[in-house]
A and B are shown apart, each in its own frame.
Chain A
Amino acid sequence: MCALCGVLGGAGHWTDAVARPGVFTRTATPVERRRERAARVTQANRVLRHYRLTLSDWQGASFLLSTATGKTEIVDDLTHVWSAAEKLTGRPCDPFDPALLAELGGGRG
C-alpha cells in the first residue's frame, strides 16, 4: 500500500504478475512463487552488496532491506527495493555505475 495516496492492494508488480492466461509469471503455484522469491533475494543481494545492503524475505509477503548497521525498511516489490535502498544509503543506485558493473562482472561464478 502507498501511504500517501492510500491505495490499498498496490501489489501486482509486473515481476509478480497475477497468473492469468497469456501472462508470464512465476506466481502460479505456491512452490514456484516461493522459489522465485528465494532466487530474487539471492540475485538482488549480488547487486545490493555493492551498497552494503542485504535483502531478505519476510514471511513470503514482503522483503526486508537492511544496512550493515541494522537499519531496516520493509519493501513490497522490486521497484520499492531501489527507492528504499537510495533512502537508506543516501546515494543513487544507478545500474550504469561502472564500479557496480565491475563488481557484478568480477563476482561471477
Chain B
Amino acid sequence: MGVVEFIPVNLITGFLGSGKTTLLQRLLADPALSDTAVLINEFGEVGLDHHLLERIDDTMVLLQSGCVCCTIRGELSDAIKDLFSKRERGIVPPFRRLVVESTGLADPFPILSTVQADPVLKHHFRLGNVITTVDAVNGLSRPESIKQVAVADRLVLTKTDLVDCADGLVDELRHLNPDAPLSRAVDQEIDAAALFEGEVHSPLRAFPAVADRPHGAVHGFALAFEGALDWTMFGIWLTMLLNRHGGEVLRVKGILNIEGSDTPVAVHGVQHLVHPPVHMAAWPDDDRRSHLVFIVDGLEREVIERSLKAFMSLE
C-alpha cells in the first residue's frame, strides 16, 4: 500500500476584529500558499479574492456530550468533505493545504476535533498549525481570546500601529503560551511558510519560568524528567488526566524519551484531543530528558508533576 499523503488543515483563529481575514488576505498572496484551499465561516468586511474559497454554511451543529467523537461540527465536516470530493473529481485544483478561518467567538477545540475524529476526514487530512491573531488594541480582554491564544502554535500580533506600546501584551502572550513563535503583522513581513509549516511538533526546549499570572488561573509551565518513560503507562496517565481534567488542560505538548525507542516521541494535545504521537527522526540536542509543557486553567504544576511521577514510578 502506498503512503497516503495527508492534507494539512490549518486553523486561523482570533477574536472578533482581530485581523484574521486581513492576515489571510496577505498570506494568500504568498506563492508558498498557491495550492491552498480556504474555508471561511463568515464573510467579514475584508473581501477575499481567491479561487479556492468556500463558505461554510451558517447552520452550526454541535452535539454536546461528553465524548470527543461527538464534538464534531457537522457543517464543517460536510464542507471539507465536499471540497475534498471536488478535488478528487477535478472540479477544483488539487490543493495541498486547507486553511479554515473560524469565527471570532469560536472555541477552536471542536474544529480541531472535527478534523481528527471525523471518520472520513481523518483518513485524508491531518491537523497543522493553529494560528491565532491577537489585536494589540483590545488585547486579551475576553475569555475566548485567552483560550484561542493558549491553543495556538503561532501567534500573530495585529494593529500594533494603533497603540503606543504593545510590550505589556507581548509579555502576557509569552506567559500564556511561551513556546508559540510570535510575529507582528504590522511591521514585519509575514512569512507564510514559517506560519504554516514547521508544523505542530516543533521541538521545544527553552521555556521561560513563569512567576506571575496575569490571567489568573491560566498559566503555562514545563516539566522535565530524567530517564526513559514507559509509553503504556504514560498513555494511561494522560488519558486519565484528560478524562477528568481535559477542560482545564488547554494544551499539553512535549517530547518524550520512551523506553525501547532510540529517538524521541512528540506528543501534542488540545483539551480532550491528542494528536497521533510523532516519532521524531532524531533528538534535537544532547539533552535526553523528557520535556512536557502544559498550559492549564486552574491546575497546579506541583499536583500534575506529583501525579505523573507516581504513575511513571519516577523518583
Are A and B subunits of one complex? yes
Point out residues on A near B: beta carbons under 8 Å: 2, 4-5, 7-10, 12, 14-15, 17-18, 20-26, 36, 39-40, 43-44, 47, 77-83, 86, 92-96, 100-102, 104-105, 108
Contact call B70/A5, Cβ cutoff below 8 A: yes
Contact call B244/A23, Cβ cutoff below 8 A: no
Contact call B307/A25, Cβ cutoff below 8 A: no
Point out residues on B near A: beta carbons under 8 Å: 3-4, 63, 65-70, 72, 117-119, 122, 230-233, 235-237, 239-245, 258, 261, 265, 267, 272, 274-279, 303-304, 306-307, 310-311, 313
A98 nearest CB across to chain B (Å): 9
B78 nearest CB across to chain A (Å): 14
Contact call B279/A22, Cβ cutoff below 8 A: yes
Contact call A78/B119, Cβ cutoff below 8 A: no
Contact call B240/A82, Cβ cutoff below 8 A: yes
Check A108/B69 contact, CB under 8 A, given A7-B117, A92-B244, A96-B307: no
Contact of A4 among B63, B244, B267 (CB under 8 A): B63
Contact of A14 among B65, B258, B275 (CB under 8 A): B275
A-B contact count (CB 8 A): 119
Question: From B241, which residue of chain A is reached at the shortest CB distance?
Answer: A95
Contact of B236 among A10, A12, A22, A40 (CB under 8 A): A40
B52 nearest CB across to chain A (Å): 26
Contact call A78/B277, Cβ cutoff below 8 A: no
Residues of B within 8 A of A10 (CB): 69, 117, 119
B227 nearest CB across to chain A (Å): 15
Contact of B231 among A26, A82, A94, A96 (CB under 8 A): A26
Check A4/B70 contact, CB under 8 A, given A17-B276, A24-B261, A105-B310: yes
- Smallest CB-CB A-B distances: 8 pairs: A82-B243, A24-B279, A17-B276, A15-B235, A101-B310, A78-B239, A24-B277, A14-B274
A72 nearest CB across to chain B (Å): 19
The CA-CA distance from A17 to B236 in the complex, in Å, is 15
Residues of A within 8 A of B277 (CB): 14, 17, 23-25
Residues of A within 8 A of B239 (CB): 15, 77-79, 81-82
- A20, A22, A23, A83: which has the most chain B beta carbons within 10 Å? A22
Check A39/B240 contact, CB under 8 A, given A5-B69, A20-B3, A25-B276: no
Question: From A35, which residue of chain B is reached at the shortest CB distance?
Answer: B232
